A and B are shown apart, each in its own frame.
Chain A
Amino acid sequence: MRRAALATGAVVVLGLPWAVPRYFVFLASLIVVNSIVAIGLNLLSGYTNQLSFGHAGFLAIGAYTGALLTIHAPALPVPAALLVAGLVTAAVGLALGIPCLRLEGLYLAMATLAFGFVVVEAILNLDWITRGNDGLRVPAARLGPIALATDTARYYLTVAVAALLILAALNIARTRTGRALLAVRESEIAAQASGVHLAAYKTLAFVLSAFYTGVAGGLFALVVGFLSPDSFDVFLSVDFVAMIIVGGLGSVPGSVLGAAVITTLNDSLAGFQNYRPLIFGAILIASMLFMPGGIASALRKLSVAGAAGYPGTAPPAAKPRQGDDP
């Protein structure tokens, strides 16, 4: 049953470029890229119960790193460029995570919010390398002899990278590190008492999250082909948060679903820019009030098959309520 569903899914995903118009292939690539960011963000919020409002900043770092590598080192194969984009972003995440994640509560949310603004500011000021507001055109990347010049080629690239990253995210709970992260999620105090270094593991979750987003940024640069600082404003960070809220906190399939829903919605509301935040705000509030686990948990409640979920989808234990000390 599960296998059949997976096989059908794989056929749909792989066959898509041959069945739909070009624009939808581009949109699907964007959904896949956003799914990677959402999974990354969910690694953070799912395991540490913290939120980042600066993931657009990480995406920008990954995107500009990837783009600059493609421009200045055209011989570098794409996977290496993406890896470097991820690693650079992860390093920035480490630098940001160390001061913020020693503390509990809302510090990370606030610091990442400010971080997002600083990244945009930095892109504007480093215009000798990023071309500032003029924007940066990204040439087609090369994978050995093949130039990834078509939407279809780029789509397959994003799908391949996403598949790897999804597998890694699903299996992280089986590693020693993953078990420590799960312990942190269930009870920080109990985890700490069992010898889990709380700050280190939270920072690790944040760094992993930044890595995912950096790789997604590299892909974003290739898929969109043009980077400018205003594509990475705070509202993009809010979109990423909306993806995991709508999809389901702490759930990998939820991240993908949320990314699909929000990206499609964004695209269909392109003609109604003024109403977009109104609708997104309403969606966020409604999800929180009426569907706290997101689509993922709503589906799980509906289907019995949900009982066969992989480790890491169980709803977290009791959390501090409004009014309690965080």
Chain B
Amino acid sequence: MTTAALVHVVVSGLATGSIYALMAISLVIIYNATRTLNFAQGEILMVSTFVGWTAMQVLRAPLVVVLIVAVAAAAGLGWALERLVIRHAISATHFDVLIITLGLSLMLRSAAGLVWTHDEFPFPSLFGNRPLAIGPVRLAPVSLGIIGASLALMLALYALFRWTRMGRAMRAVAQNQRAARLMGISVERVYSGSWVLAAVVGAVAGVLIAPVVFLSSKMGLVAINGFTAAVLGGFGSMPGAVVGGMLLGVLENLAPLYLPSSIKHSVPFLVMITILLVRPSGLLGRVARRKV
């Protein structure tokens, strides 16, 4: 294996990894606010990408508009799901909320199939397709574009959490919900905000990944790798989600080079089992301590 080829594999691994990282971030955003896992995250991504795609088909809209439409659809969907369904289960257990989001994911996927069929559709890329040559290394602009756009979004999220009122409120709720409430933070608004923000991150990930995996009702399954990425980085940690996602993407792309190629789809599972055995709190996670 030449170095150039290796660089190529690693870069495309980082590109898929960026998407896993975005999925992991969106799962962690909701987890940190509500301590529940959102099984419908992948389907929110899928539906909002489909809505953007429909805008493109109907209005002949340019891709930037598609992105905006997808993000707006995601925000609306995230808000509506939280407000109309999840909020009613505010006193339910984590377990119950998990089942409800599972139900939502089934319904969204099925509804998407009824509206847009279960076929696969090609999706244009925001980035050109002329390979970029740096010395002997040729890189696909799609990969570089995905990595760049994901990093930009991550920086924006960092800024949002660091400097905005809503971001501070979210961090406060993540640390201690009761104390946050006593400080006058509306925890309900943080719940809403988290769902909207997570859905928006998902929509961007959807528009970025759709050219690579095709647009289909199945594309929400990428969320499973998002789970793994979040566990790998340490569930609940944002930087962990980024590191876990990138690492998982690279591992998934490298593994078939050294092991039988059929291993590729099993990599996330193997990574998850290994990390749970070796370092259950994840690479960057803190060891959870529980008060009795």
Chain A interface residues toward B at CB < 8 A: 45, 49, 51, 96, 98-100, 102-107, 109-111, 113-115, 117-118, 121-122, 124-125, 189, 238, 241, 245, 274-278, 280-285, 287-289, 292, 319-326
Contacts of A283 in B (CB 8 A): 103
Contacts of A319 in B (CB 8 A): 93-95
B147: Cβ under 8 A from any A Cβ: no
B224: Cβ under 8 A from any A Cβ: yes
A110 touches B103 (CB 8 A): no
Contacts of B187 in A (CB 8 A): 323
A111 touches B92 (CB 8 A): no
**A274 and B266 in contact, given A284-B106, A288-B89, A323-B35 (Cβ under 8 angstroms):** no
A114 to B224, CA, bound (A): 7
A230 to B96, CA, bound (A): 28
CB contact list, B78-126 vs A, under 8 A: 85-86, 88-100, 102-111, 113-114
| A-B residue pairs, 10 tightest by C-beta | A281-B106, A284-B103, A281-B107, A277-B110, A278-B110, A114-B269, A285-B103, A319-B93, A99-B276, A281-B103
B92 touches A322 (CB 8 A): yes
B280 touches A103 (CB 8 A): yes
B272: Cβ under 8 A from any A Cβ: yes
Tell which of A106, A121, A275, A324 touches B177, judged by Cβ atoms closer than 8 Å: A324
A274 to B113, CA, bound (A): 7
A110 touches B100 (CB 8 A): no
Can you name the residue of chain B whose Cβ is closest to the Cβ of A193?
Answer: B292
Contact with A along B219-259 (1 / 0, CB 8 A): 00000100110010001000000000000000000000000
B139: Cβ under 8 A from any A Cβ: no
Tell which of B95, B102, B227, B276 touches A238, judged by Cβ atoms closer than 8 Å: B102
Contacts of B265 in A (CB 8 A): 117-118, 121
Contacts of A284 in B (CB 8 A): 99-100, 102-103, 106
Tell which of B95, B100, B177, B272 touches A285, judged by Cβ atoms closer than 8 Å: B100
**A323 and B177 in contact, given A99-B273, A241-B102, A288-B96 (Cβ under 8 angstroms):** yes
A289 touches B224 (CB 8 A): no
A292 to B191, CA, bound (A): 22
Kindly name the residue among B98, B104, B265, B276 whose own CB sees the greatest number of chain A CB atoms within 10 A.
B276
Kindly name the residue among B88, B93, B227 whose own CB sees the greatest number of chain A CB atoms within 10 A.
B93
Contacts of A107 in B (CB 8 A): 231, 276, 280
A43 to B187, CA, bound (A): 35
**A278 and B280 in contact, given A51-B95, A110-B228, A117-B269 (Cβ under 8 angstroms):** no
A294 to B224, CA, bound (A): 28
A291 to chain B, nearest CB (A): 11
Tell which of B98, B109, B224, B276 touches A100, judged by Cβ atoms closer than 8 Å: B276
**A49 and B95 in contact, given A117-B265, A278-B107, A281-B103 (Cβ under 8 angstroms):** yes
* B contacts with A: majority SS: helix
B103 touches A111 (CB 8 A): no
Can you name the residue of chain B whose Cβ is closest to the Cβ of A188?
Answer: B290
B92 touches A114 (CB 8 A): no
Can you name the residue of chain B whose Cβ is closest to the Cβ of A107?
Answer: B276
Can you name the residue of chain B whose Cβ is closest to the Cβ of A318?
Answer: B93
B261 to chain A, nearest CB (A): 10
Kindly name the residue among A51, A245, A325 whose own CB sees the greatest number of chain B CB atoms within 10 A.
A325
Tell which of A103, A282, A288, A323 touches B276, judged by Cβ atoms closer than 8 Å: A103
Bin the interface of chain B by size: 35 or more
Contacts of B98 in A (CB 8 A): 51, 106, 109
Number of A-B residue pairs having CB atoms within 8 Å of each other in the complex: 156
Contacts of B90 in A (CB 8 A): 321-323
A47 to chain B, nearest CB (A): 13
Tell which of A114, A121, A274, A276 touches B228, judged by Cβ atoms closer than 8 Å: A114
Contacts of B99 in A (CB 8 A): 51, 241, 245, 284-285, 287-288
Can you name the residue of chain A whose Cβ is closest to the Cβ of B88?
Answer: A289
B262 touches A125 (CB 8 A): yes
Q: Can you list 7 A-B pairs with a CB-CB distance of less than 8 A?
A: A110-B228, A118-B269, A274-B113, A281-B106, A284-B102, A288-B100, A323-B177
Known: A114-B268, A278-B111, A289-B100. 20 other contacts (CB 8 A): A51-B95, A96-B273, A103-B280, A107-B276, A107-B280, A110-B227, A114-B228, A274-B113, A277-B109, A278-B110, A278-B114, A281-B106, A281-B108, A285-B85, A289-B89, A322-B91, A322-B93, A322-B97, A323-B187, A326-B35
A121 touches B266 (CB 8 A): yes
Can you name the residue of chain A whose Cβ is closest to the Cβ of B227?
Answer: A110
Contacts of B100 in A (CB 8 A): 284-285, 288-289
Contacts of A45 in B (CB 8 A): 95
Can you name the residue of chain B whose Cβ is closest to the Cβ of A323?
Answer: B177
B35 touches A274 (CB 8 A): no
Can you name the residue of chain B whose Cβ is closest to the Cβ of A102?
Answer: B280
**A281 and B35 in contact, given A114-B228, A118-B266, A319-B93 (Cβ under 8 angstroms):** no
Contacts of A281 in B (CB 8 A): 102-108, 110
Contacts of A321 in B (CB 8 A): 90-94
**A322 and B94 in contact, given A238-B102, A284-B102 (Cβ under 8 angstroms):** yes
B37 touches A109 (CB 8 A): yes
A324 to B32, CA, bound (A): 10
B59: Cβ under 8 A from any A Cβ: no
